[in-house]
Amino acid sequence: MKKELIVSHEDDLTKIALLEDGRLCELHEQEDKSEFIVGDLFVGRVKKLAPNLNAAFVNIGYDKDAFLHYQDLGPQYLTYKKFLKDTISKKQSASSLKNFEIQPEIDKNGTVEKVIVKDDLVLLQITKEPISTKGPRISTQVSLTGRFLVLIPFDNKVSISKKIRTTEEKERLKTLIDSIKPEGFGVIIRTVAEGKKVADLHNDMNQLIQKWESTFRNIQKSKVPARVLSEEDKASAILRDNFNQDFVSIICDDEQMVEEMTNYVEVIAPEKKNIVQFYNSHIPLLEYYNVEKQLKQSFGKHVNIPSSKGAYLVIEHTEALHVIDVNSGNNITTGNSANKEHAMNVNKMAATEIARQLRLRDMGGIIVIDFIDMQNPDHRRDLFEHLKEEMKRDKARHKILPPSKFGLIQITRQRNRPEKQIETKEENPNKDGEITAPIVVVERLEETIRNIIQKDKGKLYLHVHPFVEAYLTKGIKSIQMKWFIKYKKWVTIIPRDSFKYLEYKIYNSKKEELIGYSN
């Protein structure tokens, strides 16, 4: 499978698209001044207790207090509490945990008011970004994630990913980690560590220790509430969790980010550093790689299933769950053995698309899927195994239940960020009963271009909706050609799938926006 990472930065917003064989599978967005990223560490202050929820609300500097459930305290909560208190008071003068006194574990079935009081300071980690009216979800079970390892303070255990199968490799990795692991820290060995040399693992371990040391220094000088460790930006985090030999290109339109990602790839896979490339064109990066077009096609209530000859998904959302119905497009009839086989094939294609949709939209909670009816138990079993295989690429924690007696398959999936919503319907410019005549639109554009030409002698790039682009460039004697003859300047017209019908923007050769209009 060929993987590509497309990273576009514009107007203080970074959009990151993951393509697999050219198909958009994940889309992430991050504001330059994003307040909370999953993995960030904060020192917060307990604002109030909620005994009925067995939880506390913690002030971490967000307009909504973060939610801390008792189950998210972790067994070593009292140890973290003492470490934080000693660090702030300078009693703990070093980040080493070698001689730190471990406190008794808290009762896993206890109550929040027995271990937390109002105004307590807590070291915590963001586990879920703010969603809707809810503040961030947090945990006091801190872990620092690297490329190959996860470092866990106040724990001496070494755990190994279950996906590493061979006993010999497990023993090799455990021996290596035991030899380099500092005392007072536990380690989880990630799947991608399989087959790696001790130098790679040692380098990853050192970077994680440096993160912990940085956290310690920031705690000492922090003014509560305060962020004491920032997670990597989303682009680097995606590379950390997904990068493998399948990646063939990483394209970015921001020079500084290109340099940062090149340096990152050089550390984790030196032989692949040349796949990071800078994109410099007047055609927006996401447009060039058809990301905007795929977004329009992939969101909405109805989604076509590729190569299925008319089958489609109907995706509906309720407060309690998400429902996905697989519709054959009326090309399957029951009772025919060939059609039974075809139903199986359509269901498999639907399962592949559903796995993609869950990642792309980041749908969380309960998802119920109603596939095309299949009476053959072998077909049902094959479909279930196929869906599990397709879902392996999903990094979100999930569980797939076997088909019910009604043929329904249920998935529970964790969501760490707001569900992605993309508007797939164009706003009707005729909503008031009247619409601007095409000639008026053209005259408005021409007048704008004429005024710019009088001041700017360089190249011009007009970005418009695809329908408008088609109207302006149609035929040999197109409006675009008439402008060229009249003003002796060629205006490059670029279609933008993300634009509204009458929206336009004009840029110069330096990619500076000269003027724009949105209906």
Domain harbouring 12, CATH code: 3.30.420
161 part of a folded domain? yes
User: Does the residue 329 lie in any domain?
Assistant: yes
CA distance 251 to 258: 8
Regarding whether 56 and 133 lie in a shared domain, the answer is yes
Task: Please count the CA atoms within 13 angstroms of the CA of 117 that sit on its side-chain side.
Answer: 0
Clarify whether residues 71 and 162 are in a common domain.
yes
Residue 298 is predicted with a pLDDT of 87
Residue 423 in domain: no
**CATH for 493:** 3.30.2320
Same domain? 240 vs 214:
no
β pairing state of 158-160 and 185-189: parallel
**What does the alpha-carbon distance between residue 276 and residue 259 come to, in Å, rounded to a whole number?**
9
Residues 91, 207, single domain; the answer is yes
Does residue 177 sit in the same domain as residue 266? no
The separation between CA 234 and the C-alpha centre of its own chain, rounded to angstroms, equals 7
d(CA 357, CA 353): 6
Q: Which residue has the tokens 């962020």?
A: 227
Residue where a domain stops, chosen among 367, 397, 413: 413
- Let me know if residue 261 belongs to a domain: yes
d(CA 99, CA 444): 75
First to last CA, the chain: 41
User: What is the amino acid identity at position 516?
Assistant: G
How distant is the alpha carbon of residue 59 from its chain centre?
26
Total number of domains in the chain: 4
The one-character DSSP state at 95 is: S
Looking at the fold, whether 303 and 376 belong to one and the same domain comes out as yes
Among the candidates 293, 314, 331, a domain finishes at: 293
Rg of the Cα atoms in the chain: 27
The domain in which residue 447 lies consists of 438-517
- Own/partner contacts of 478-483, CB < 8 Å, gap of 24 or more, are 479/442, 483/446, 483/449
pLDDT computed for residue 47 by the predictor: 95
| pLDDT tens digit at each of 519 positions of the chain | 899 999 998 878 889 999 999 999 999 888 776 677 888 999 999 999 999 999 999 999 888 899 999 999 999 999 999 999 999 988 888 888 988 999 999 998 999 999 999 999 999 999 888 776 777 889 999 999 998 999 999 998 999 998 898 999 999 999 999 999 999 999 999 998 999 889 889 999 999 999 999 999 999 988 899 999 987 666 777 788 778 788 999 999 999 889 888 988 887 788 888 999 999 988 889 989 999 888 888 888 889 998 887 889 999 988 889 999 999 876 655 556 677 888 899 999 999 999 999 999 989 899 999 999 888 889 999 999 999 999 998 988 899 999 887 889 999 998 767 666 666 555 655 555 555 666 677 888 888 888 888 887 788 999 998 888 998 999 888 999 999 998 888 999 999 888 888 888 999 988 888 888 876
Distance of CA 39 to the CA centre of its chain: 13
Q: Dihedral sign, CA of 209, 210, 215, 219?
A: positive
289 and 308 together in one domain: no
Cβ atoms within 10 Å, residue 16: 21
| 45 shares its domain with 156 | yes
Tell me if 488 is assigned to some domain.
yes
Distance in angstroms (rounded) separating the CA atoms of residues 475 and 200: 60
The residues near 489 (Cβ < 8 Å, ≥ 6 apart) are 453, 460, 483
Considering the domain boundaries, does residue 418 fall inside one? no
Residue 426 lies in a domain: no
Indicate whether 192 and 274 sit together in one domain: no
Instruction: Classify 373 as helix, strand or coil.
Output: coil
Say whether 391 sits in a helix, a strand or coil. Answer: helix
Claim to verify: residue 208 and residue 80 sit in the same structural domain: yes
Residue 347 belongs to a domain: yes
315-333 burial, b at 16+ Cβ within 10 Å, e below that, comes to beeeeeebbbebbbeeebe
CATH number of the domain at 195, please: 2.40.50.140
Residue 49: partners with Cβ closer than 8 Å, 6 or more residues away: 55, 56, 57, 112, 113, 116, 117, 118
Which of 413, 447, 479 is where one domain is finished? 413
| Residues 72 and 200 occupy one common structural domain | yes
Report the distance separating Cα 381 and Cα 387, nearest Å: 10
Residues 219 and 327 in one domain: no
Q: Taking Cα atoms as reference points, which of 284, 285, 287, 363 lies closest to residue 322?
A: 363
Q: Which residue, 418, 401, 299, is CA-closest to 356?
A: 299
